Chains A and B, each alone.
Chain A
C-alpha cells in the first residue's frame, strides 16, 4: 500500500515542475502495479486495507485520472494554469486513493469530504461560464450539508461497536428502536453523493458548468463514492432494516425512470449525460436496496461500467465543445469526424449494455427497472438518431442514417427479449452495424 501512496505523493510534488504528459507514463505504471493487488484482500485492523471493492474503485480512479490528463492537453498548449491543474489532479488522486483504501471510518469521512475540494476547484477554476460559481457552491454546500449527519452517525457507530475500524462494522447493530431512523440518517450523505432522485439537483448543474475533465471525474469516480460508502455502511445494518428495502429500491428505480424522462428532452449533451448518470446510479441504488449478494455485485459492476462509459461520453462531448464551443446536439458531425461518431455510438451502446448487464444481474427486481433502462436507451439513442436525421441534406447519408436507426431498433429488440441470446445478438448487431455504417458513411464522404 505504502509504495502506491509514496508514488502518488511524489507525483503531487512533481506537479510543481512544469511537466504535463510525463504524468501519464507514471500513472500507467501505477495502474499496472495496482492490477496485481487484485484479490490480495488486505483487510486488516490497521489503517489501510484493500478488498476487491476498493480495488475496483482505485483502478477506476487511476484510469480516469489518465483520461482527464489526456483530455486536458489544451491547457498545456494554451498555458492555461496547467501547473495548478496537474496539482489539483494529483491532489484528487491522493485523496481518492485514501478514501477508497483507508479502513478507518473517521478518516474515511475526512477524505470523503476532502475529495470535494479538488473537484470544486476544478469546476470553479476551469469551468466555462460564470454560472460555475453557483454550481460550485451548490456542489459544496449540498454535499457538506448532507454529510454532517453521517459524521454524527459515525460517532454513534464508533461508540456502539467500540472502535472506528471498518471491519468492526460487520458485527452489525442490535438496536431495534431507532434503527430505521439511524439508517436513513447515516446513508443520507451517500444518497446525495450518489445522487438519488430528489437530491440530485446539484449534479446536472455541476456537470454542465464543469470542464470536461471535471465532469469526467465527477461522473467517473465521485458518484461512485456514494455507492462505495453505501456498500460499506449497509453492512452495519444488515438484516435490521430489510423492510426499508422497498423504499430504497423504489427510490432508485422510480427515480431512474423519472430522470430518464427528463433525459428525453435534453438539448445539452452534457446535461443529457449527467441525467443519464443519475438514472444509472438509481439502478445501482436499486441493486443495493435488494439487500442481496447479486444486487451488491451488480451495484459494483454498474459503478465500474458506468464510470468507464460516462467518462468516455463526457470526453467526446468535450471534443465537440473544443471545436464548436457549444455542447448542444451536434448536427452533421458525421461528415467531419466519422470515427468520432463511431466512438460516440460505442460509448452509448456501452452505457446501455452496462445497464443491461445490471438488469441481467438483478433479474428478479421487477418491471420498472426494465422500463427505465429502455427509456435511458431511448434517450441516448434518440440523441444519436436526431443527429443522424439531421444529415438529411445529402440523400445518401440520410439513407444510411435511417438504416442505422432501424438497426438500433433491432438491437433494442434483441435486448427486449430478456435472454442471453438477445443480449449477445444486440451486442453483435451493434458492433457489426457500427463497423458497417461507419464504413458506409466514410465511403459516402469520399463520394
Chain B
C-alpha cells in the first residue's frame, strides 16, 4: 500500500481554510476561509494524479466554486447595504442558492459526480466530507427556509433517482451524498443543530467506504464481482448498507435522529424516507455478487498481491458500523 501523500502543505491550508470559515465572526472572514480552502484543494486534485481527468475535474471544480464564492461575497456586500432592513431577504436567498451550489445540492448538482469521477479515493473522500463542512456551517446560519427546504427535497429525490443506473463507484457515492444532503438540509430547516451529528456519522461511513474501495482497488461495479475474497465483499456490503441506512446498522442512527427532528412535518418526512428507500435499492443492487455467494474463478485472474496487513483496520471499522448504533443510541437516550 502506498502512503505517498505529497501535498502536505496544501492539506494544511485546506484544514486552515475550513477552520477560518467555521470560526469567523463575519461573513467576509467566512468567505475568505472558503477561498483559501478552494485554492488549496485544487493543487491537491491536480498533483495527486497525473492524468488528464483530474485536471479536467479540477477546472470544473474551480469554475463552479469560483462562481459560487463570487455570489457569496456579493450577497455579503448586499447584507451590508441592507443592514437592519426588512429587505434583507434578497441576499439571504442569494447566499442560500450560492452555498447550495458549492455543496452540490440538487438543481446545481451536475458538476459533482463529474468532478468526483476524476479524483482518486483520498481526494474523493475530502470532497465528499471535508469540503462540505464550511458551506454547511455558513448555510446553517444564513438560510432562506423556503428555498432551503425546496432544494433539500429536490436533492433527496434527484440524488436517489439518478443514482439508480450508475456503474461507477464514485458516481454512486456522489449521488448518495447528494441525497444525504437532502436529509441534512431537511434537519437544518427545522433549526436543529443535530445536522452536525448526521454529518459526522455520514462522514464516518463514507470514510470507511472510500477506505475500503481504495484498499481493494475498486472503481466500477463490475470489479466488485471479480473480488475473490468473500470477506472483503462482506465488508463492502455491510458498509454500503450502513450508508444506505438499513436499521440495525450505524447509518440508521442519523436517519433516526433526523426523523425525530422532522416528524413535525409529515409530508417532508415521507418524501425523505421514500428517497432513502430508493438509495437503499441501488445499494442492494451493488451487493448482489456478495449475496449470491458467487465467486468467479478464471485462469487469468490477477495475482492477489495485497497482503492482509490492513484488513485488520478495515474489519474493526466494519465492526463499528455493525454495532455502532448501540452505544451511540445509548448516548442519546
Contact = CB atoms under 8 A, between A and B. Distances in A.
B246 A141 contact: no
B269 A152 contact: yes
A345 to B, nearest CB: 36
B284 A152 contact: no
B277 A144 contact: yes
Given A121-B291, A124-B291, A113 B248 contact: yes
Interface stretch (A132-140, A283-291, A306-314, A397-405): A132-140
A125 B293 contact: yes
Given A140-B284, A151-B259, A113 B293 contact: no
Contacts of B259: 151-152, 155
B273 interface: yes
Given A114-B248, A125-B293, A126-B293, A156 B277 contact: no
Contacts of B293: 81, 84, 125-126
B248 A133 contact: no
Contacts of A111: 248
B260 interface: yes
Given A110-B247, A137-B284, A155-B263, A145 B291 contact: no
A133 B263 contact: no
A110 B263 contact: no
A37 interface: no
B112 interface: no
A6 to B, nearest CB: 16
Contacts of B252: 110
Contacts of B263: 152, 155-156
Contacts of B269: 152
Contacts of B325: 110
Interface string B167-179: 0000000000000
Contacts of A132: 292
B246 A133 contact: no
| Interface class of chain A by DSSP | helix
A149 to B, nearest CB: 9
Contacts of B284: 136-137, 140
Contacts, number: 57
A120 interface: yes
A126 B294 CA distance: 10
Contact of B273 (A124, A126, A137, A148): A148
Nearest to A111: B248
Interface in B196-212: none
Contacts of B291: 120-121, 124-125, 133, 136
A172 B284 CA distance: 39
A416 B84 CA distance: 85
A152 B258 CA distance: 11
B281 interface: yes
Given A140-B284, A155-B263, A109 B292 contact: no
A390 interface: no
Nearest to A151: B259
B280 interface: yes
A199 interface: no
Interface string A117-133: 10011001110000011
Interface in B201-237: 230
A133 B277 contact: no
B12 interface: no
24 contacts: A95-B248, A113-B246, A113-B247, A114-B247, A117-B246, A120-B291, A121-B291, A124-B292, A125-B292, A125-B293, A133-B288, A133-B291, A136-B284, A136-B291, A137-B281, A137-B285, A141-B280, A141-B281, A145-B277, A148-B273, A152-B263, A155-B259, A155-B260, A156-B263
Interface of B: 230, 241, 246-248, 252, 259-260, 263, 266, 269, 273, 277, 280-281, 284-285, 288, 291-293, 325
Given A117-B246, A145-B277, A152-B269, 4 more contacts: A114-B248, A117-B241, A141-B281, A144-B280
